[in-house]
Amino acid sequence: MSNRQRIIRIDPGAVEIFCGALAKSLNLSDRAFSVVFTGTASMRRLNREWRKKDRATDVLSFAYADEVVDGMPFIGEIVIAPEIAALQAVQYGASPEREIRKLIVHGALHLAGYDHEIDGGEMTRLQNRVLRRRFFTDGAGLIRREE
């Protein structure tokens, strides 16, 4: 995990635990992926460069082939803009914590090969099943509370 933004305080240990449980849930335990938290301006640049959309987005997934990390196939990176996630959480009536967890799940499903734009709802159904599981809501918070 890498945190390249300063707006939302992220707990790296909690992110690692959550991603481990998610990987197990999605049968990805034998593969590695990373989560990068970035600022809104960086996310806008990435979205413009890779998707030709000149606006910040909440999550992007970058799949890799033939990469190995710690002896495991590295399937890619999930890049999240926590500030955008927090704004969306307000719109959806959810907590920023829940929204960030949802975005990690969404990104991991893309890295696992799902594509909601062409799969007839398969990815969305699987994402909804994952979001109902206990590990999704339990455990240490990914967002650190102010001290």
Q: What is the DSSP string of 15-30?
A: HHHHHHHHHHHTT-TT
Q: Quote the domain boundaries for residue 85.
A: 2-137
Residue 142 is assigned to a structural domain of this protein? no
Residue 23 is assigned to a structural domain of this protein? yes
Residue 122 is assigned to a structural domain of this protein? yes
Higher pLDDT, 66 or 4: 4
Provide the CATH number for the domain around residue 36. Answer: 3.40.390.30
Instruction: Please report the pLDDT score of residue 81 as a whole number.
Output: 98
SS3 95: coil
Residue 80 is assigned to a structural domain of this protein? yes
Closest of 75, 102, 83 to residue 44, by C-alpha: 83
Number of folded domains that form the chain: 1
> pTM value?
0.93
> Which whole number is the average pLDDT over 14-22?
93
Residue 146 is assigned to a structural domain of this protein? no
- Answer for the pair 112, 71: CB distance below 8 angstroms, yes or no: no
Confidence of residue 146 (pLDDT cuts 50, 70, 90): low
Residue 89 is assigned to a structural domain of this protein? yes
SS3 90: helix
Residue 145 is assigned to a structural domain of this protein? no
Alpha-helix residue ranges (DSSP H) falling in the chain: 12-25, 40-51, 82-92, 96-111, 122-131, 134-137
The H or E element spanning position 4 is strand 2-4
Residue 46 is assigned to a structural domain of this protein? yes
